């Protein structure tokens, strides 16, 4: 697979997380939303969201109550940066992230590409006392 095949905008169709016992969950529910974009110049941007996120009680983006802000943060994942391919792995080199600890890190994803379907899979990753493999299925949007 070459980078040219990855270039485009992809729409999320499913996100699952499987633990070491084989138990599978849907981190953002059955109707999670998402978009990932890969440019020809080596830039990527990814966004994931819970469907039907609650609105703030006021219409100022950087305000809202502490619980509203916590819920907004907990229901959205976003990052962007450079990317490169290493065989069947895409490496996201994060320049910005909603989760500040990821800035400057490399996020590796195993790639499966079949026509207009893209699957990105994380390596086994420790998360909250368990080890998870996240699998995100995308459909080419353009």
Instruction: Decide if 90 contacts 84 (C-beta within 8 A).
Output: yes
117: β partners: 114, 139
How much is the pTM? 0.93
Q: Residue 58 carries which DSSP code?
A: S
Instruction: Decide if 18 contacts 24 (C-beta within 8 A).
Output: yes
For the chain, 142 residues long, give each residue's pLDDT as a single digit of tens.
677 899 999 999 999 999 999 999 999 999 999 999 999 999 999 999 999 999 999 998 888 999 999 999 999 999 999 999 999 999 999 999 999 999 999 999 999 999 999 999 999 999 989 999 999 999 999 9
Architecture of domain 3-140: Beta Barrel (2.40)
């Amino acid at each position: 697979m070459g980078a040219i095949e990855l270039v485009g905008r992809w729409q999320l169709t499913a996100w699952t997380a499987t633990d070491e016992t084989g138990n599978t969950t849907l981190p953002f529910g059955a109707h999670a939303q998402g978009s990932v974009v890969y440019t020809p110049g080596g830039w990527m941007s990814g966004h994931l969201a819970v469907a039907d996120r609650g609105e703030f009680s006021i219409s100022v983006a950087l305000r809202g109550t502490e619980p509203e802000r916590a819920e907004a943060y907990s229901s959205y994942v976003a990052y962007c940066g450079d990317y490169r391919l290493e065989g069947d792995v895409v490496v996201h080199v994060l320049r910005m992230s909603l989760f500040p600890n990821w800035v400057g890190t490399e996020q590796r994803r195993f790639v499966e590409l079949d026509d207009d379907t893209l699957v990105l899979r994380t390596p086994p990753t420790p998360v909250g006392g368990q080890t998870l493999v996240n699998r995100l299925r995308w459909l080419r949007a353009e």
